[in-house]
């Protein structure tokens, strides 16, 4: 998503992991961990 | 089935599942879902309690976001804000309070039932939000018409994320900004996950 924002013309793209995010069900949480799934905050500007 | 036809069919099925799941959150906030939702989720993401206390209970109970886009949005009075995928309306209502009295908030939502709920919540909150029926792949707004786009946990659901980014860029004014929270994956999801509407919608 970070790369797509830049390729779409956005500048100053910044991201950080959302603290406190987790899937509720253990099975989903385990799958998410295996795939490196996380929630992120992203900001960017249109020049 | 040709690959393009298969893709279109899969997208249609997934769209229906996404609509169904998030509508279920709105209609049955006490239900058991893969993700935290409602006030529990909002407090995890540091929405101020005083903000949540001042919003209709239904808007908070149906909250299905994955973070708090307000933390870095720095909204100021007078700005035009778009909430892309506005769901039950929590983020749009909170934005409307921050940009009042001259600012505008546009809520874009593809599910008409959710939009009705969000509109009712906004009326109850006493804020003005303009609700636009449409999708994030074809945002129903003019070029260069928006100062800030907020989005919370919906872009990951799109099969055409590049198109969504291009649309956000199109509707923003020069110097405009986005503040989004969303789900990303470090690895390519397996085809079994992509093909499973319930897992994709989660």
- Residues B49-76 pLDDT 10s: 999 999 999 999 999 899 999 999 999 9
The better pLDDT of the pair A24, B161 is held by B161
From the list B56, B63, B134, the residue with the least C-alpha distance to B97 is B56
Q: Three-state SS for B140?
A: coil
Task: Enter the DSSP assignment of A1.
Answer: -
Its pTM stands at 0.87
- Report chain B's mean pLDDT, rounded to a whole number: 88
Distance from CA of B35 to the nearest CA of A (A): 5
Average pLDDT rounded to a whole number, residues A23-41:
83
- Is A46's CB within 8 Å of B162's CB? no
Distance from CA of B101 to the nearest CA of A (A): 25
- How many inter-chain contacts (A to B, CB under 8 Å) are there? 109
- Please tell me the total count of domains within chain B: 1
Q: Quick one: angle between helices B3-27 and B112-125, nearest 10?
A: 30
pLDDT > 90? residue B25: no
Pairing outcome for strands B172-185 and B146-152: parallel
Distance from chain centroid for Cα B194: 21
The pLDDT-based confidence of B201 (bands split at 50, 70, 90) is low
What CATH number corresponds to the domain at position B53?
Answer: 3.40.50.150
Which residues of chain B make contact with A7, given a CB cutoff of 8 A? 162, 165
Which residues constitute the domain of residue B45? 3-201
- Is A21's CB within 8 Å of B45's CB? yes
């Amino acid at each position: 998503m970070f790369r797509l924002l830049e390729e779409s013309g956005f500048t100053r793209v910044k991201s950080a992991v959302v603290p406190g995010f987790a899937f509720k069900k253990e099975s989903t949480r385990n799958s998410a961990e295996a795939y490196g799934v996380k929630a992120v905050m992203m900001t960017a500007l249109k020049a | 089935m040709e690959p393009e036809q298969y893709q279109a069919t899969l997208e249609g099925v997934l769209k229906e599942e996404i609509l169904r799941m998030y509508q279920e959150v709105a209609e049955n906030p006490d239900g058991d879902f893969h993700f935290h939702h409602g006030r529990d989720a909002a407090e995890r993401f540091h929405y101020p309690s005083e903000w949540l206390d001042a919003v209709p209970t239904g808007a908070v109970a149906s909250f299905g976001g994955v973070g708090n886009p307000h933390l870095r949005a720095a909204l100021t009075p007078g700005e035009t804000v778009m909430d892309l995928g506005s769901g039950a309306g929590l983020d749009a209502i909170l934005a409307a309070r921050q940009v009042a009295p001259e600012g505008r908030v546009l809520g874009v939502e593809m599910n008409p039932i959710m939009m009705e709920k969000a509109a009712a919540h906004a009326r109850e909150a006493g804020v003005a939000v303009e609700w636009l029926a449409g999708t994030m792949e074809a945002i129903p707004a003019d070029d260069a018409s928006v100062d800030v786009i907020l989005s919370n946990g919906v872009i990951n659901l799109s099969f055409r994320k590049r198109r969504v980014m291009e649309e956000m860029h199109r509707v923003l004014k020069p110097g405009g900004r986005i503040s989004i929270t969303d789900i990303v994956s470090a690895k390519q999801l397996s085809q079994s996950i992509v093909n499973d509407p319930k897992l994709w919608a989660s």
